[in-house]
């Protein structure tokens, strides 16, 4: 029943690549856009994506929210970070909008996504925060991320960094992705998408688990808090990933062929 098999050599590979995978942000790129025109575009794109997600997620992705959603109510109370396993292409842009019904997501993305025809130009207006290519711009980027938290937004991060469609395990995390909550002590949540066989059709259904909040002790140094948060989220996602019972796409290491 497998659709296809993907062969890989390491977890750092881009199984799915954008039109220009090496695209980098221009030196004068601005994450904060406060003009009236930008605000109108942002309103239109955000509401358009949310409307799209209400159809795409339940009817195309067959996404079902586990009862853990009802238990995690404080997600809507303040600025927070949401970590998600990276297993969908279009879906990983739509799912946060579908999950955060009363909150606008700010999604940290690879700059390569901006090279996607048409859609790439809309990503910044939909809340996408592309990572800068120049080290000197990281300070500005970090300030924007923390500003979103102070504005009670939810910053969405894919700690596996590379999208592997329908992958049912949890890959190693980039520790740097936990730099943000380790610095500002905002609550951390995780969303784990798991896959099960549907009665009809080849594509699996998605059962989505929402867990948290996670915190690291204030007495620890920032690097130590990063490690603690990374381990907490990874362990939780690994536990939830056991609910995946169907592999729609098979992944095999090249040295194990």
DSSP assignment of the chain: --SEEEEES-TT--SS--TTTT----TT--S---SHHHHHHHHHHHHHHHHHHHHIIIIIS-EEE-THHHH--GGGTS-EEEEE----SSHHHHHHHHH-TTS-EEEEE-GGGGGSTTHHHHGGGGTEEEPPSSGGGHHHHHHHHHHHHHTT-EEEE-TT-S--TT--S-PPP-GGGGHHHHHH---EEEEEEEEE--SSSSSPEEEEEEEEEE---TTS-HHHHHHHHHHHHHHHHHHHHTT----SEEEEEGGG-
Percent of the chain with pLDDT over 90: 68
Residue 117 clears pLDDT 50, i.e. is over it: yes
Mean pLDDT, the chain, rounded, equals 91
Q: What mean pLDDT do residues 93-114 have?
A: 91
Q: What is the band of 170 on the pLDDT scale with cuts at 50, 70, 90?
A: very high
pLDDT recorded at residue 1? 45
Structural domains of the chain in order of their starting residue, each with its CATH number:
34-256 (3.40.1130)
Q: What is the band of 3 on the pLDDT scale with cuts at 50, 70, 90?
A: low
In Å, what is the CA distance from 94 to each residue of 53, 217, 218, 226? 5, 33, 34, 27
Q: What is the dihedral of CA 62, 66, 67, 70, to 10 degrees?
A: -80
Q: What is the band of 27 on the pLDDT scale with cuts at 50, 70, 90?
A: confident
CB of 132 closer than 8 Å to CB of 141: yes
Cβ-in-10-Å burial (0-12, 13-18, 19+) of 190 comes to: buried
Q: What is the band of 165 on the pLDDT scale with cuts at 50, 70, 90?
A: very high
């Amino acid at each position: 029943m497998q659709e296809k098999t993907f062969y890989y050599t390491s977890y750092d590979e881009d199984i799915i690549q954008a039109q220009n995978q090496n695209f980098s942000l221009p030196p004068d790129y601005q994450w904060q856009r406060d003009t009236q025109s930008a605000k109108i575009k942002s309103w239109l794109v955000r509401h358009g994506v949310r409307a799209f997600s209400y159809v795409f997620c339940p009817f195309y992705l067959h996404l079902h929210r586990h009862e853990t959603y009802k238990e995690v109510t404080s997600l809507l109370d303040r600025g927070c970070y949401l970590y998600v396993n990276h297993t969908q292409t279009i879906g990983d842009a739509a799912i946060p909008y579908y999950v955060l019904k009363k909150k606008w997501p700010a999604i940290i993305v690879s700059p390569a996504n901006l090279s996607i025809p048409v859609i790439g130009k809309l990503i910044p207006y939909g809340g996408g925060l592309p990572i800068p290519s120049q080290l000197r711009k990281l300070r500005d980027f970090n300030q924007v991320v923390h500003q979103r938290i102070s504005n009670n937004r939810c910053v969405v991060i894919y700690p596996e960094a590379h999208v592997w469609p329908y992958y049912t395990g949890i890959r190693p995390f980039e520790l740097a992705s936990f730099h943000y909550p380790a610095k500002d002590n905002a609550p951390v949540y995780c969303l784990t998408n798991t896959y099960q066989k549907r009665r009809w059709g080849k594509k699996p259904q998605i059962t989505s688990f929402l867990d948290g909040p996670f915190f690291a002790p204030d007495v620890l140094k920032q690097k130590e808090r990063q490690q603690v948060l990374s381990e907490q989220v990874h362990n939780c996602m690994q536990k939830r990933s056991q609910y995946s019972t169907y592999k729609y796409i098979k992944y095999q290491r090249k040295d194990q062929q």
